[in-house]
Structure 1
């Protein structure tokens, strides 16, 4: 089926049509047949995209779909549905599953439905067996099976020797190590950011230093051993400054932030809403501002959803007992719009930049290119509830609230999905 998208404004700095309002014809093979400011006719279906923006298909560099092992929270089928409704055509899933993604068969299982799916899932392989930080997995086997990067999931790789050896080993194929910077001893039993608010609320804090010390350590090991290192979910002002300096000195380093870090600070925890319990915790307003500045100057490469489903038994508890995490994919667009970031400033952090870091191809929006596209309406309003959410879980602080900004359509792998 051929589809005509009318009057969409293209946001793609790599395209010759960037910033232009055009009509786009996608043929029945899933390729962009024509782009023109003039009228195009003959399509089987037409989408009126007046007021909407069209970009390359979004890529989420961090999501947990809990499959295999914890499918009651999310599974690969519901995960793909969530991604599709959220604008993501590719998703890198973390190895925090049961069993861990640590064998060739595990990697192949994650990608097993890709041939027939709009949303393409990419496996991130575990660095160590069962994510215990002790024994290496068969990293080259995982790479050959299709793993796009290696990490400990939401855990830090705390063993310095293993981290150094991983950086060196991955150089055999220019592989990427993703590490979460957290000193687990300094953050142990912590519930929120350490500061004035934690003192007022009487909750044990997690100091910014727990993140910053690990950033310093990892950068020193990177300097010593070489390789490629990506910091996952940074959250503090000092961490941004350290990574900015490392980049200026030529380090092979990149980083991401979770979108929800732009929406909340530690001051929002006065409600004791367990849906606001995340890891790393929401920091101060000064930290949030530093994240925005890091996005603006290119220090922060990627924005991720940090999609982390939790069931009711894990969230409807006292704050200190509840598990951390937010189902962040479907609210990523409203959060970014709420942060008042211009589309040109964040689109590349969910398209070209994560694709470059993971070594995945992503064609510019041009005639003849494969249609891997996301169409969204920044003005559309909707409510996150059981009717609109595709997730099997509902742990999101925006649950039941009206939001602004909605993905209207996605195109990829010769398929399309409309969200009207």
Structure 2
């Protein structure tokens, strides 16, 4: 592939060309030259006028569903949805059937993504079947290529298991991802516990469930690190899907103490509040649930001051039979890969440069992935987008359509991706 993209604005804080409008010549899977009025020669030419380019985006939280639930999503459709969302690399949670708790299942996922436009990074389960009882062979899974360890949709409820996992992973320089939720407190819960849940008569999921579990996790992290001398410059614990005022405060306090912790939020978390569930739209049923305006304000502040490191899609596809039924029987989750960037532009309160950083630099740092930059000689792992363009989300490339955004006008459009010598452009 030899390609010249002309007159495109570079948005990459790590690039010497950040903020400049340049031509980019790509050849052999690498950025050969960046400059002005470059000679295209025999290269394919794409007019980048009005577009921006950054390093390829990384999504740290995706439910791929394959193997086992291919009727909801498979590895082909999830890569299509990811590409249309601007993501060139995605982390797949282990909650498949079978669970990603052996090298065979891990390698099935990794190999299916080799050399493709979207690189797949499987996360392996902490416990067998992700059921919180017995440990997996984490050292073997780490050596086989697991990018992180998590029970995914199942927060680790056992404190001793979490503590021993931190102690076990530190010598490997491996990452533990956990979503803070005390499931005893959220049992049978359907939405955020508050005025709206009372008005509509649904069992609430209190903010306390997140806060208590997060206090526990951070205390265990601090306790574990007192007992070893390993370098802690990289995050050891990644807190996924923060949603509450106190949750943000706890991560902020932990970072101020120097604890090696990082955090993310889902882009759609900021698009709604609990009061929006009065209409019982099951596409708005997620976990953690949409919370109050005060919680959303705290999330925006956490993004702005760096307490929250990354933005994820939390892509969670479901078939029609899992969503099109009574609210209290519907599954939690939104199909979210294709809308994550637009929702971040519309609702995060961040300037585009900072949004891009939370989709590129920070996820790679947290996951220990190689750095990617818009620079000469670097791999051509790139996302092209127009942050100011309005577009109608008229079609999803996911197998599942459980999203409240279909047919809606969004701002911030992905226009193309390049990775592993492959390219795809969108209108």
Aligned to 1:355: 364
Is the 8 Å Cα contact of residues 26 and 34 (structure 1) preserved in structure 2? yes
Distance 2:375 2:42 in 1: 18
Distance 1:306 1:272 in 2: 21
Aligned to 1:208: 207
Instruction: Tell me how far 1:39 sits from its aligned partner.
Output: 4.3
Instruction: Tell me how far 1:338 sits from its aligned partner.
Output: 1.2
Instruction: Tell me how far 1:337 sits from its aligned partner.
Output: 1.6
Question: Among 249, 253, 258, which residue is 1:241 paired with?
Answer: 249
* 2:400 aligned with 1:393: yes
Question: Among 308, 318, 336, which residue is 1:300 paired with?
Answer: 308
Instruction: Tell me how far 1:383 sits from its aligned partner.
Output: 2.7
Aligned to 1:20: 20
Distance 2:39 2:381 in 1: 20
Aligned to 2:288: 280
Instruction: Tell me how far 1:49 sits from its aligned partner.
Output: 1.7
Distance 1:184 1:43 in 2: 60
Distance 2:42 2:265 in 1: 40
CA-to-partner distance for each residue in 1:196-219, whole Å, 9 max, x for gaps? 121222211111000000110001
Instruction: Tell me how far 1:329 sits from its aligned partner.
Output: 0.6
Is the 8 Å Cα contact of residues 352 and 387 (structure 2) preserved in structure 1? no
Q: How many aligned positions are there?
A: 417
Question: What root-mean-square deviation, in Å, do the aligned CA atoms of Structure 1 and Structure 2 show?
Answer: 1.2
Distance 1:152 1:282 in 2: 22
Summarize the Cα distance change of 1:268–1:40 in structure 2 as closer, same or farther, 3 Å threshold.
Answer: farther
Aligned to 2:126: 127
Instruction: Tell me how far 1:114 sits from its aligned partner.
Output: 2.8
Which consecutive unaligned segments of at least 5 residues does structure 1 have?
A: none
TM-score, scaled relative to structure 2 = 0.96
Aligned to 1:409: 416
Aligned to 1:76: 75
Distance 2:251 2:315 in 1: 24
Q: Secondary structure at the match of 1:241?
A: helix
Distance 1:44 1:124 in 2: 38
Instruction: Tell me how far 1:88 sits from its aligned partner.
Output: 0.5
Which consecutive unaligned segments of at least 5 residues does structure 2 have?
A: 226-231
Aligned to 2:228: none
* 2:380 aligned with 1:381: no
Aligned to 2:48: 49
Distance 1:347 1:198 in 2: 35
CA-to-partner distance for each residue in 1:91-149, whole Å, 9 max, x for gaps? 01000101000001111111113333111100100000111100001101100110010
Is the 8 Å Cα contact of residues 4 and 43 (structure 1) preserved in structure 2? no
CA-to-partner distance for each residue in 1:176-211, whole Å, 9 max, x for gaps? 110110000111111111111212222111110000
Is the 8 Å Cα contact of residues 131 and 154 (structure 2) preserved in structure 1? no
TM-score, scaled relative to structure 1 = 0.97
